[in-house]
Chains A and B, each alone.
Chain A
Amino acid sequence: MLDAHLAKRRGPLALDIAFQARAGTTTVLVGESGAGKTSALRLLAGLDRLEAGFVRLGSEPYADADAGWHLPAWQRDVGYVAQDYALFPHLSVFDNVAFGLRAAGVERRRIRPRVEEALGMVGIENLAGRRSHQLSGGQQQRVALARALVPSPRLLLLDEPLSSLDLQTRRMVRGELRELLHRLPCITVYVTHSPVEALVFGDQIVVLEQGRVVQAGPREELLRRPRSPFVAELIGTNLFTGRPVTGGPALSPTIRTPEGEFAVEEMGSPGGVFLTVSPREITLYPRLPEASAQNVFLGTIREVIPEPPAGDRVRVVLDARPSLVVEVTREAVGALGLHEGMRIHAAFKATGVHVYT
């Protein structure tokens, strides 16, 4: 079990986050650049000192700012894969991977089998004699991973492990890496700016924004109940905060948000609530619809963005009150003649609004 409260100022960033992680699971720290992800990893690794807070791995205190305790990085049971891998340029692949075992004083005759096993685990036994400049990005990534894993760390830290790879390699390595992390008994903390990677790797996802945790929880919880604009954008849904309208003339339950009023099916609690509207639940009409949708808003199309991978689905960003992201098919774009600057109605049913606290 990893128990961490990390606080440190670094330039304009004031990092202050806390989270816990269980053995055999992957915790993803996700956020935009400058959110403090790498700083958090460096504190966990012991490369930087905490200004406040603590790091505990199992029963072992790694750092405690109050007690002035800091276990140096080289004495921690931690594996660390830096964003650009930092393979030693003067050593062969074999010697890179053997480095941690030699430094830890592992017996000479036990080193070769363990290095070979680690190289086999990431599928690069045949590269043992190469140097880092003779490797492709994907191969370097595997060497870095093998090098970090071979001393069997209890805590594995990965800093954007896929971001230096080209698109094709990334997709391939992503699947393999997920398999590998699933099999590992250690605690993994995985840092990324990519929502996709967060959802692929994260048993637990911790969303960082400007050095703070804006939401943390299991993947399902995040997908179902985003609680910040960043998370909503990350998973691609429309998020609003509001309060139920009570005692008004409205026929159906209504929630008032700063952007407008929403007809909903259930009020949720009487206090503040979150609501999400899936972009797929929203339909676009050039004329005011007479259909049964209770929520209709008029707005101007700001952007029309084809969705990867094939662009069969298209995201339409609507300047309205409230502003909405709508997902439609490519056929619909043609049929309705959707273009930027066009005035259009967006409609969705009360049942299309998900309310939670």
Chain B
Amino acid sequence: MGAIAGVLGGLLLVLLGLPVLSLILRISPGVLLDRLREPLVVQALRLSLITSLAATATVVVLGLPVAYLLAMREFRGKGVLEALIDLPMVLPPTVAGVALLTAFGRNGLAGHALSALGITLPFTTLGVVVAQAFVAAPFFIGAARAGFTEVDRKYLDAAATLHASPVRAFVTVLAPLAAPALLAGAATGWARALGEFGATITFAGNLPGVTQTMPLAVYLALQSDLDAAIALSVLLLVFSLAVLLTVRLGPTRLSALLLRARRPSR
């Protein structure tokens, strides 16, 4: 049994690890740094950072109340809402892009309302943010909800008997106690937004400097400049790995550090 598990595990390790390893081995550090200085790459990098951070912020602001309700309250249609929120996790990203087009496109369901407000989403940077937020939302909401659920109700009861309104209790007790989960959720959501490809290219197109994020630039470079594609890929890989490692090892220690750093107000 142990031997079989060992062999299967080894195969899996090769399947997962070899591409990662070969990607890193394929390019020399000198070439890597060289390619990362190319204007096209810099542009994509900048755009990716801006849009993914904006998408993460959007998801956090809009997702926090939803995660709170899902964790704290029972209501009708909760199951449907949960399924709806989780949908982007299993939906093919291109389908998400098409769906976004039919909703927010010029002739989409909400397209006229948006253009009346002077907002255009398809093939704009804002559209990239929307596409990234769409796919990143379930990652943050799921983690935040789990974090809220894990906070012992006794702390909220204590806050209530100490004159804290529900909003105050949320800010001063619930959110700080769920901080590790919230940080982890935001980090995974950010990583997902940064790596978003399918929904972006379908909904926002591939315009350099406007909607061409790193994953899109990788895809484009693959057809003309393999080294640039690999350089970008390595960068994305390192970033994703860093986020995951932080989430795995970090949050509890990270929040412990944050807590220790906050001096008691003496």
Interface of A with B (CB < 8 Å)? 42, 45-47, 72-76, 78-80, 82, 84, 86-90, 92, 94-95, 98-100, 103-104, 128-129, 147-148, 151, 157
Contacts and interface: CB of A to CB of B under 8 A. Distances in A.
Contact of A147 (B152, B162, B259): B162
Q: Which of B154, B158, B176 is the most central at the interface, judged by chain A CB atoms within 10 Å of its CB? A: B158
A128 B266 contact: yes
Interface string B139-164: 00000000000001011011111111
Interface string B168-209: 110011001100000000000000000000000000000000
B115 interface: no
Interface of B: 152, 154-155, 157-166, 168-169, 172-173, 176-177, 259, 264-266
A86 B154 contact: yes
A86 B158 contact: yes
Contacts of A84: 154
5 contacts: A86-B152, A90-B177, A103-B163, A103-B164, A129-B266
Contacts of B157: 42, 45, 47, 73, 80, 82, 86
Top 7 A-B pairs ranked by shortest CB distance?
Answer: A92-B264, A100-B162, A80-B161, A73-B160, A86-B154, A103-B164, A103-B163
A82 B176 CA distance: 21
A148 B264 contact: no
B264 A128 contact: yes
Q: Which of B152, B154, B163 is the most central at the interface, judged by chain A CB atoms within 10 Å of its CB? A: B163
Contacts of B160: 45-47, 72-74
Q: Which of A79, A86, A100 is the most central at the interface, judged by chain B CB atoms within 10 Å of its CB? A: A86
B160 to A, nearest CB: 4
Contacts of A46: 160-161
A89 B166 CA distance: 19
A88 B154 CA distance: 10
Contacts of A87: 158
A103 B162 contact: yes
B264 A78 contact: no
Nearest to B177: A90
Contacts of A151: 162-163
Given A82-B158, A86-B158, A88-B158, A99 B266 contact: no
